[in-house]
Amino acid sequence: MRTLARLRNIIDPLDLALGESFMREDIPALFGEAYNPGNWNVGHVVLAQKKAHILLVTLNKQGRADEHKYMDHWIDDTHFHWQSQNATDPTSKRGDEIIRHAALGIDIHLFVRDTKLAVGKAAPFTYHGRVRYQSHQGSRPMSIVFGLQSGAA
């Protein structure tokens, strides 16, 4: 076990998951968590004890209510535009944690899928790794630009 613990200090298991696809129910295990639909059936999951925010993004919002059609999209291969939930503003706890995540020691992880369904079943999310806050505009929702830390979209 000590060898595994030392290896984890060298190689982060999440780095090995970059570019891999995961069903929503399987994502919590990547963070040592159990799946709970009440917590994980949203687009922004906060794991306070793990100092992590998980963004679960569906790009094609067709069929969703207008208040949930967030403007999420790739800007280029290494930058992602994400809109927060409607209650989030820069002075709220979540907004502040996103803006100051690096200083607070919080990691933000990005999972993206094109559509909610694929062949009539829930579509998997692709893990794009940790992202770093670049800038934001607006409030309720906040429009945020993240840069990929891994450099791979």
Q: Which residue's entry shows tokens 């291969």?
A: 77
Residue 39: φ, ψ to 5°: -90, -35
| pTM of this structure | 0.89
In a 10 Å sphere around its CB, with 0-12 CB exposed, 13-18 middle and 19+ buried, how is residue 96 labelled?
middle
What topology does CATH give the domain 2-148? PUA domain-like (2.30.280)
Q: How many CA atoms lie within 13 A of 109 on its CB side?
A: 23
DSSP 6: H
- The tokens for 97 are 């944690």
pLDDT in tens, the chain (153 residues): 565 555 456 677 788 899 999 999 999 999 999 999 999 999 999 999 999 999 999 999 776 666 656 889 999 999 999 999 999 999 999 999 999 999 999 999 999 999 999 888 999 999 999 999 999 999 999 999 999 997 555
In a 10 Å sphere around its CB, with 0-12 CB exposed, 13-18 middle and 19+ buried, how is residue 39 labelled?
middle
- The tokens for 72 are 């999420």
